[in-house]
Structure 1
């Protein structure tokens, strides 16, 4: 059993990186290596699932009005366009969920390694720069202006997130910009579709890890969950404001720096 401060550190890493375009998987592997957590530690794998749920809850809190509108439970009207609906969500999440289920064993066996994460960090950073430098005409300035075609294209770009280190938010935001969405619209849609994708993924993994939920780890799990929730809430709100003023190239440069440090200190 690990000390409480390990739960705090991992919770902070998860909360900060889960929804930023920097790859939470890469950072979790890096943090685990630095803390001396073995890859075979089943309790910590379950802990990571729990703190992901904390991060998901943060996004639900931020977008609760839009979520209610999706199910016809809110009287709020779209600010522009015809409004985002459940068809947009399904078009964006079905491709990645189907492929993830079909290739889950391959991904875990071949792609969850420090070397593949490093490659994902670099390639994902390049994609962010390409998205920012693209001259694609913006046709969706707000998430409610996204077309079904754009939602589906973003969903296809999300498939890249199955490669650890690529970053789900990074691939979908960059892909959304390449599809004609503004940076803000792509970010909003990315966060919203993260909810069903992550609920499915974490729910599936949690069902396989129920034996790890024992009374002696409850406090450790609770600390990580709360820390992840609070930090993710702050990170999402801050990122939404950031993308309105700055481009995403800064995150790409950060990814390159992390990849270099990763290589120098852990892989050599």
Structure 2
């Protein structure tokens, strides 16, 4: 298949799946397997298009991100979303990622392990829906530091490919009594430093696999991921408010069954 076509397909997959609770990494591994696009070049390409998704969320939430550079809310103990929320939400995943990075990349980036992650993440999402209570935090400014840290701990589950960072953090948010909107927006924001760090580290390690011939494909995938990602985030918030996490959980289970059947038969 033509490289540009592959870039567009995978760019769409990344843009749609990165901030939805369905696992972008899992989808990229599964779709890449179906397209026959695997190996070190494919892994490097996946890193680049993830940066497109990061840029999308950064543009959409640019005002909120800029406000994080002010330390006044922290010093004055204002009840306002600030940088400390982000730090608490990011720190657990950073520690887990640094400790487990090589093991994960070596042993877990495979279709069969992704299927397990898809099912396990779906079970967590259904559990969170069943156990959620009346929200105490209806906006980011009402989010407590304890809630931020708890959601950050849930984000550690996403180091397992297929589990879904959005799925684990939004589920954690619901269980801490954050609203759908608050949990989702916090999930989007703490994704930025985590993804920048993880993709930056991966890109440095994969730099030798890049060549000038790859530029058209990589640029196409990056732009596609950016555009689709912006549309996906806005659309997802509307769907989540109406339907919750359960439909996404069932989709993950169906995907796991279909892919397993494809591999076996």
TM-score using structure 2 length? 0.93
Matches of 2:255 and 2:220, distance apart in 1 = 27
C-alpha RMSD of matched pairs (Å): 1.6
> Offset of 1:115 from its aligned partner?
2.1
Partner of 2:193: 196
> Offset of 1:250 from its aligned partner?
0.5
> Offset of 1:139 from its aligned partner?
1.1
**Equivalent pair of 1:21/1:169 in contact (CA under 8 Å):** yes
Unaligned runs of 5+ in 2: 72-77
After TM superposition, the structure 1 = structure 2 runs for residues 204-223 of structure 1, keeping only pairs within 5 Å, are: 204-223=201-220
**Equivalent pair of 2:8/2:224 in contact (CA under 8 Å):** yes
Matches of 1:107 and 1:50, distance apart in 2 = 19
Unaligned runs of 5+ in 1: 74-80
> Offset of 1:267 from its aligned partner?
4.2
Matches of 1:10 and 1:264, distance apart in 2 = 22
Within the alignment, does 1:25 sit opposite 2:25 as a pair? Answer: yes
Choose the corresponding residue for 1:62, options 52, 60, 64: 60
> Offset of 1:211 from its aligned partner?
2.4
Within the alignment, does 1:5 sit opposite 2:5 as a pair? Answer: yes
Matches of 1:183 and 1:96, distance apart in 2 = 21
CA-to-aligned-CA distance 1:195-250 (integer Å, 9 cap, x gap): 00000001111111222332211111110000010011110111122222221100
Within the alignment, does 1:114 sit opposite 2:111 as a pair? Answer: yes
> Offset of 1:188 from its aligned partner?
0.5
**Equivalent pair of 2:132/2:174 in contact (CA under 8 Å):** no
How many residue pairs get aligned? The number is 259
Secondary structure of the 2:242 match is coil
Matches of 2:113 and 2:32, distance apart in 1 = 16
Relative to structure 1, is the Cα distance of residues 60 and 135 closer, same or farther in structure 2, using a 3 angstrom cutoff? closer
Matches of 1:216 and 1:135, distance apart in 2 = 50
> Offset of 1:122 from its aligned partner?
0.8
Matches of 1:10 and 1:135, distance apart in 2 = 34
> Offset of 1:135 from its aligned partner?
4.0
Partner of 1:263: 260
Structure with more helix by fraction: 2
Matches of 2:132 and 2:117, distance apart in 1 = 24
> Offset of 1:2 from its aligned partner?
4.9
Partner of 1:52: 50
CA-to-aligned-CA distance 1:89-116 (integer Å, 9 cap, x gap): 0011111111111111222233222222
Within the alignment, does 1:158 sit opposite 2:125 as a pair? Answer: no
**Equivalent pair of 2:47/2:199 in contact (CA under 8 Å):** yes
Matches of 2:158 and 2:195, distance apart in 1 = 12
Matches of 2:112 and 2:172, distance apart in 1 = 24
Relative to structure 1, is the Cα distance of residues 66 and 239 closer, same or farther in structure 2, using a 3 angstrom cutoff? same
After TM superposition, the structure 1 = structure 2 runs for residues 234-253 of structure 1, keeping only pairs within 5 Å, are: 234-253=231-250
Secondary structure of the 2:243 match is coil
